[in-house]
A and B are shown apart, each in its own frame.
Chain A
Amino acid sequence: MTLGEPTQVQQEEPQPVGIEPSDSAAAAELVRTPMWRVRLRLFRRSFARNWALFRENKMGMFGLVLIGIFALMAIIHPILMSTVWDPKVYDPVTGYDAVLTEYEVVEEVTDPTTQIEVSEARIKLNPTIKVGDTVRIPAQPAPPTWTGENPHYLGTDPQGRDILSQLLYSTRAAFFLGAVAALTTVIIATTVGSVAAYFGGWIDGGLMRFADLILLMPLLPLLIVMSAAFDINMVMLGVLIGILNGFGGVAIVLKSQALSIKVKAYIDAAKVAGGGDWHVIFRHIVPNVLPLSFLYMMFGVTEAIAIEATLSFFGLLNVPMTWGVMINTAQANGYLLSGTQYWWLLFPAGLAVTFLAFAFFIVGRGMDEVINPRLRAR
């Protein structure tokens, strides 16, 4: 069996890129290196090449930086909670802080964030208050405070919870959802696409008709109706979005990619060497479809974040705190049209959803330019 092994290693190679043994010593050296190391070296080389291409894309790099900032936000929250922030005050869901806000007592209120009507102040504090006094009343939502025992850098929400803490906590939730949705999408889409391309015939036809059907399915209305019937939590939502995405459009795109790989010579070589159907699919086709699927993973993350935020904006999901829930809270308490007056209720959460989705999207576009040379700048 000592003779058999080296040839097998040579054939197992997924793509003999860049490895051309010039002399027999190097060839012998190559044969001795374990398979995983060869794979790693190939991966590193193609990664370095693609990275160099990707770095030319300024928007893509900007997106990567944005994702990095969000990742930092996600990491910093548990650290802050266990060190600086008192959970009783700063917990994103159950925290409460009676922030005392200074109000000027006036006859008629023109600016409700700094003024209070005299009759209201008398009811709330004591009946001796006169117009022109300054009073301190616990008020929610409170504007940002930078000093004091418990500073709220982005203010509090209508229930007295810290907005910054909610924002950071939700970042983690968004990443989690994105990861679940993207992983499910990639696993399903690469499998379906490769299987359909490899076997062809009725399997291909059936799977693709099914993909057409899923593509037609109005995703948001379907999820809204489902959320009425079932208690949907974060994991379920991620898996649902992943399944619907993976069986739908992404599978169709990956199938056409897999078709172009199926006709390559090394697939025939693998079959001649005695590789079974599933071995060829998972060892030779799937690894070559994966790079393209990563691209769709990025767009999938964008979509998942947007869908989750929209559903929890309507208050239909069983999730403790996300960006969508934050906006839902503002809306449910009647601050929908407060605009810039209570800016901390609507803008941090809305912008966070927008920017994270934006970041994943432009990274996806950058990757698209790496994979699809025709889109590159001249």
Chain B
Amino acid sequence: MIRFLARRLVQMALLFVVFLSIVWLLLQAMPGDISDTLVGNPDIPREVRFELRQRLGLDQPLHIQYITYITNFFRGEMGVSFSRYPADVSTVIWQHLPRTIVLFLTATVFAFWLGFKSGKLIAWGRGGRSEQAFILGGVFLQTVFYPWFAIVMMWVFGFYLGWFPISRFIDARLWQGSPYDANDLFEQMILSTLLVTVVYVVGRVLIKRFATTVTMEARLRQALVLVTVGGLILFWYLHPARTYVADIAHHTVLPVVTLGLVTFGATMLLTRSAMLETLGEDYILTARAKGLPDRVIRDRHAARNAMLPVTTSLVLSLAFVIGGGIVTESVFSWPGTGQLLLQAVMVSDIPLAAGILAVTGVLALVGHLVADVLYTVLDPRIRIT
């Protein structure tokens, strides 16, 4: 297991260098360089332009530039943003990254959890009328033109029903004169949620180990959910920055749900077909012959094995969630890296755009690694060899 992971890590690192090289190549393939944008400006003499080229290292041979780029990236240096001069690319990205990660994580977790449950259920109750409706809905969600879907969601829930704020991350009027910094508060929210998640996972493991009967396990699980979620809500309810936190949370709901819904459709369909394949296996027949209750066959025998292909698809849907995240952020004016990327591209802020692309690559790689780890945890065959 550890050797497997170590090998995977090395592979990932290599892949990332290749990815970074492609980003660099993309930068090189662009016609001209930054100093060319100053050609038309009569206030800037030729000498200044050449000095600029020299200072930026653009007069050096290509391989030197390449090595400088790669090493600088690993030192956290991605250059200076053109459009947000004099801010560093890494600083700008760092400011926007938490929001993207939260959007990305919550939407993925929500979609996979719900998609797996519902896919399992519709595969189990195969042939019903509701199955057709679920499949149709799932396919619709998977193929719907996502920006349009986001606009419609925003219009229905934000404008027509008015349940959620239409866009942005915070309500500027509320935050005027607030003693808190939105970014700091948001980071605290993330930390507290992470803490609660860890407590929950540990609790689940402990329950599994020490619960003696099935009903006791179910009771304890319910209690755990109540304690963790209730504790989190209570903590923030008693927190002095209550209204501000509620404002952030209120703004987060609609983008997360919109992105999650689309991923949900794909996961549900995939779980369904994976379940159908496992339901045809001999061990399901054996389980039935043993007289096990339906729920046990469904959850312990079929769904556990159907989880493997779904986990594999997690990798594929990662790319989708990253792409969908950009659309979500742009439609909902959610100030994350996706919106930043679009803004950078619109004003040809190439260092920033390339930096975000590289960071997105890191995100995809980490997601890939997590899916791999999950796979090894789920599949005992890999764990042993």
Contact between A336 and B368, CB atoms less than 8 A apart: no
**CB of A265 within 8 Å of the partner chain:** no
Interface string of A17-54 (1 = CB under 8 A from B): 00000000000000000000000000000000000000
Could you say which residues of chain B place their CB within 8 Å of the CB of A339? Answer: 155-156, 159-160
Could you say which residues of chain A place their CB within 8 Å of the CB of B23? Answer: 225
Contact between B273 and A225, CB atoms less than 8 A apart: no
Could you say which residues of chain A place their CB within 8 Å of the CB of B364? Answer: 216-218
Contact between B353 and A314, CB atoms less than 8 A apart: no
**CB of B145 within 8 Å of the partner chain:** yes
Contact between B326 and A358, CB atoms less than 8 A apart: no
Contact between B341 and A218, CB atoms less than 8 A apart: no
Interface string of B124-167 (1 = CB under 8 A from A): 00110000000110011011111111011011101110000010
Contact between A218 and B361, CB atoms less than 8 A apart: yes
Q: Which of B154, B155, B166 has the most CB atoms of chain A within a 10 A radius of its CB?
A: B155
Interface string of B235-264 (1 = CB under 8 A from A): 000000000000000000000000000000
Contact between A354 and B341, CB atoms less than 8 A apart: no
Q: Which of A229, A324, A349, A361 has the most CB atoms of chain B within a 10 A radius of its CB?
A: A229
Could you say which residues of chain B place their CB within 8 Å of the CB of A86? Answer: none
Task: Tell me the B341-385 residues at the A interface (CB within 8 Å).
Answer: 341-342, 344-346, 348, 350, 353-354, 356-357, 360-361, 363-365, 368
**CB of B18 within 8 Å of the partner chain:** yes
Distance from A78 Cβ to chain B, minimum over Cβ atoms (Å):
25
Cα(A331)–Cα(B353), bound, Å: 23
**CB of A221 within 8 Å of the partner chain:** yes
Nearest CB to that of A63 among chain B residues?
A: B139
Could you say which residues of chain A place their CB within 8 Å of the CB of B344? Answer: 228
Distance from A244 Cβ to chain B, minimum over Cβ atoms (Å):
10
Distance from B345 Cβ to chain A, minimum over Cβ atoms (Å):
4
Cα(A302)–Cα(B15), bound, Å: 28
Cα(A220)–Cα(B357), bound, Å: 10
Interface range, A side: 35 or more
Cα(A302)–Cα(B350), bound, Å: 30
Could you say which residues of chain A place their CB within 8 Å of the CB of B277? Answer: 374-375
- From A221, A230, A374, B326 is in contact (CB under 8 Å) with A221
**CB of A226 within 8 Å of the partner chain:** yes
Could you say which residues of chain A place their CB within 8 Å of the CB of B315? Answer: 215
Could you say which residues of chain B place their CB within 8 Å of the CB of A323? Answer: 145
Distance from B147 Cβ to chain A, minimum over Cβ atoms (Å):
5
Contact between A225 and B345, CB atoms less than 8 A apart: yes
Contact between A361 and B143, CB atoms less than 8 A apart: yes
- From A226, A324, A374, B280 is in contact (CB under 8 Å) with A374
Could you say which residues of chain B place their CB within 8 Å of the CB of A216? Answer: 15, 19, 319, 361, 364-365, 368
| Segment of A200-208, A266-274, A305-313 engaged in the interface with chain B | A305-313
**CB of B327 within 8 Å of the partner chain:** yes
Distance from A297 Cβ to chain B, minimum over Cβ atoms (Å):
16
Given A212-B15, A313-B147, A339-B159, are A218 and B276 also a contact pair (CB < 8 Å)? no
- A residues with a Cβ closer than 8 A to B are 59, 212-213, 215-222, 224-230, 249, 302, 306, 309-310, 313-314, 316, 323-324, 327, 331, 336-337, 339, 346, 349-350, 353-354, 357-358, 361-362, 365, 374-375, 377-378
- If A221-B326, A358-B139 are given as contacts, then 6 extra A-B residue pairs at C-beta distance below 8 Å, sorted by A number, are A213-B15, A216-B364, A216-B365, A220-B327, A228-B345, A313-B147
Query: Could you name 15 residue pairs across A and B whose Cβ atoms are closer than 8 Å?
Result: A216-B368, A217-B319, A219-B319, A220-B326, A224-B353, A228-B348, A229-B30, A306-B145, A336-B151, A339-B160, A350-B145, A354-B148, A357-B144, A374-B276, A375-B273
